[in-house]
Amino acid sequence: MDLATIIFLILGVVCWGMGAFFDKMTLKYMDPASAFYLRTLVMLALFIPFLAWKYFPTRQALLNANKFALVFVLSGAVVTMCGVFFYLKAMSGGEASRIVPLSSTYPFVTFLMVYFFLGESFTLNKLLGTLLISGGIYFISK
């Protein structure tokens, strides 16, 4: 990995970690469904200027893309929103120090899906690494 990729990865991890903290704090004051809808509304409000700024290039990219691109974008958005909702429901009923690590085992699902559906290479190192990370996260949360 190049340095820029590593920096973005670290920034993403820090933001996700802070986001989980703020999610747990939010759930002290409101129910998960309200938190989910308010979070979605805030994100929409924050993204409106960017949507306006990038409307024409995005529209052109969509017009030039394969017809399945929209299906995959919509599918990704729906399952991500469902994941956030279920995550908030879990966070409201459990300890963040357990829920967050367990929710971080999703790479195993991705590993299986890209292998079976996208034909990415299967190696013992990838499988063992994914299993060890997921298993380690499980044991940390016990």
Longest Cα pair distance anywhere in the chain, in angstroms?
Answer: 49
> Which of 38, 16, 18, 35 has the alpha carbon at shortest distance from 26?
35
Better-scored residue on pLDDT, 136 or 45: 45
Q: What is the three-class DSSP state of 95?
A: coil
Confidence of residue 22 (pLDDT cuts 50, 70, 90): very high
The alpha carbons of the chain give a radius of gyration, in whole angstroms, of 18
At CA 120, angle to CA 139 and CA 81, rounded to 5? 60
For 102, residues 6+ apart whose C-beta sits below 8 A from its C-beta are 137, 138, 141
Annotated domain spans of the chain:
3-103
pLDDT by residue (tens digit) across 30-77? 999 999 999 999 999 999 999 999 999 999 998 999 989 889 989 999
Distances (CA, A) of 22 to 13, 26, 64, 75, 79: 14, 6, 39, 26, 22
**Direct distance between the N- and C-terminal alpha carbons of the chain, in angstroms, rounded to an integer:** 32
Distances (CA, A) of 49 to 2, 46, 77: 31, 7, 19
Q: What is the pLDDT of residue 10?
A: 86
CB 92 within 8 A of CB 27: yes
